[in-house]
Structure formats: C-alpha cells, structure tokens
Amino acid sequence: MTRPTISIRGVDVFEAYLSPPEQQALVEDLRAVIRQAPLFSPVTPGGRRMSVRMTSAGRYGWVSDRSGYRYASHHPDGDAWPPIPERVLAVWRDLVSPERAPDCCLVNWYDEGARMGLHQDRDEADFGWPVLSLSLGDEGLFRIGNTTRGGKTESIWLRSGDVLRMGGEVRLVYHGIDRVKPGSSTLLPRGGRINLTLRVVD
Ligand code: MD3
Ligand code: FE
C-alpha cells in the first residue's frame, strides 16, 4: 500500500510517485493517444475558448461546446476515444482500486499562460469514487478551496511525477490551476504541463 507523502485539505499527495523513466514512458503512451484523438480547445457554454487544450481516453471523454459540458462516447471529430494506457491504469489500481477501472482519462495540456479557473468536478453520476490526477512536465500552481464558492484557499506546486487523490469529502471542492512555471521541467522537449485526470463517470 503506497502512502501519501502529504495531505492538504483532504487531498492525498503522492510526491514523485512516478520515476523519471516512468514519466518518459507515459509521455510516449500519450503521444499515441493524441495521434488517435487530437487535442482540441474546448469552448465554454458562454462561448469562450479555454486556454487548456484537451483530449481523452477511455469509455467516455469530457467535452464542452456551446451546448454545455458533458461526457461523450466520441471525440468531436467523430471517432471513439482510444483505450486508457495500461501504465495509467496500473497507477489507478495501486492508489484507488483494482476492483473498478476508471471510465475516463482526461488529458489536459497547458502551455505557457494556460490556466484553469476554480471549478468543481460534478458532471459524474457517481461521486463515490476518488478522482486521481497525474502531473507531467512543467510545474503547475494548484489551488484548492472549499465545497462552496469563496472562502480561504491553499496552493501547492505540482511537479512532474506527482499524483493527487481526491476522495470522500474533498471530491466536491473547488480547485484550479493558476499558472504554469515555464522551463521548470525537461520532460517535454517543447515545455508545457500535462495533467491526466482519471474518473469513474457512471
Ligand atoms: C480536487 N484539472 O480537469 S487536476 C480538471 O491540473 C482539473 O489539469 C486540473 O481540475 C489540472 O477538472 C487539476 C487535480 C484535481 C482534479 C480533480 C479534483 C483536483 C481535484 C476534484 C476534486 C478536488
Ligand atoms: Fe477539475
């Protein structure tokens, strides 16, 4: 059983869970995912283009357009999402459960200047399972708040190889990425940050 290195507001942090060679292998897996399911810039229901580019693997992918946020069984291009890489599933089995696989592996790609505002993850039908997040590449400043909007927040830098687990009470807290620190990792040749978010959807 792997234990968290720190816990912040109920978020379990596994610092440097992935070794540099494991991180490199994951990046190769993700290149194959992105070849099959290209990154796209989601548009919010309000009509704004998100600064983060995304794609997904698994039974469902997360999409957003003028008609709203939702899980969809196909990429906006029309193809089914590729399977979640085995190496990613192995992390889920170790830190969440071998009993149930995640339905969705959301791939978020941040370049310099990309951010993700404070939000809740509440498009899933089942909040009983934890969410697992894997960080790769440049460091990202992660901010965590409360289950309602407003109030005090806390921030931590997420580094390449760090894994976060959000289960129980914190599953519905507001969270986001304020900024990415360019040049803070050599994992990705052109820089940037990748986050993988694993979720059970239904
Ligand atoms: C805390 N992604 O895709 S992952 C998202 O780094 C998202 O790309 C961020 O938030 C990223 O929805 C943060 C960490 C994370 C994910 C889900 C959470 C933290 C969470 C759900 C509840 C509480
Ligand atoms: Fe989120």
Domain boundaries, the chain: 6-199
Q: Which atom of ligand 1 is nearest to the CA of 170?
A: 23
For residue 26, what are the CA distances in angstroms to 7, 120, 156? 25, 27, 23
Enter the tokens of residue 48: 């704004």
Q: How far is CA 84 from the centre of its chain?
A: 13
Q: Which atom of ligand 1 is nearest to the CA of 62?
A: 3
Q: Which atom of ligand 1 is nearest to the CA of 135?
A: 6
Asked if 55 and 33 count as a contact pair (C-beta separation under 8 A), the reply is: yes
Asked if 194 and 88 count as a contact pair (C-beta separation under 8 A), the reply is: no
Please name the residue ranges forming H helices in 42-139.
86-95
**pTM for this predicted structure:** 0.97
Distance 131 CA to ligand 2 centre (A): 9
Asked if 113 and 191 count as a contact pair (C-beta separation under 8 A), the reply is: no
Whole-number Å distance between alpha carbons of 10 and 108: 23
pLDDT at 110: 98
pLDDT at 182: 98
Q: Which residues line ligand 1 (CB under 6 A)?
A: 11, 106, 108, 116, 121, 131, 133, 140, 164, 166, 170-171, 173, 175, 177, 195, 197
- Give me the residues paired with residue 68 across strands: 65
Which amino acid is it at 105?
A: C
Distance 176 CA to ligand 1 centre (A): 6
Distance 111 CA to ligand 2 centre (A): 17
Distance 172 CA to ligand 2 centre (A): 9
Asked if 11 and 165 count as a contact pair (C-beta separation under 8 A), the reply is: yes
- Give nearest CA residue, ligand 1 atom 14: 133
CATH number of 6-199: 2.60.120.590
- What is the pairing mode between strands 131-137 and 163-166? antiparallel
pLDDT at 7: 96
Which amino acid is it at 46?
A: G
Q: What is the pLDDT along the chain (202 residues), one digit of tens a residue?
A: 799 999 999 999 999 999 999 999 999 999 999 999 999 999 999 999 999 999 999 999 999 988 889 999 999 999 999 999 999 999 999 999 999 999 999 999 999 999 999 999 999 998 999 999 999 999 999 999 999 999 999 999 999 999 999 999 999 999 999 999 999 999 999 999 999 999 999 9
Distance 25 CA to ligand 1 centre (A): 22
Burial class from Cβ neighbours inside 10 Å (0-12, 13-18, 19+) for residue 44 reads middle
Asked if 136 and 112 count as a contact pair (C-beta separation under 8 A), the reply is: no
pLDDT at 118: 97
Whole-number Å distance between alpha carbons of 26 and 147: 32
Ligand nearest to the CA of 104: 1
- Give me the residues paired with residue 61 across strands: 72
- What is the pairing mode between strands 6-8 and 193-199? unpaired
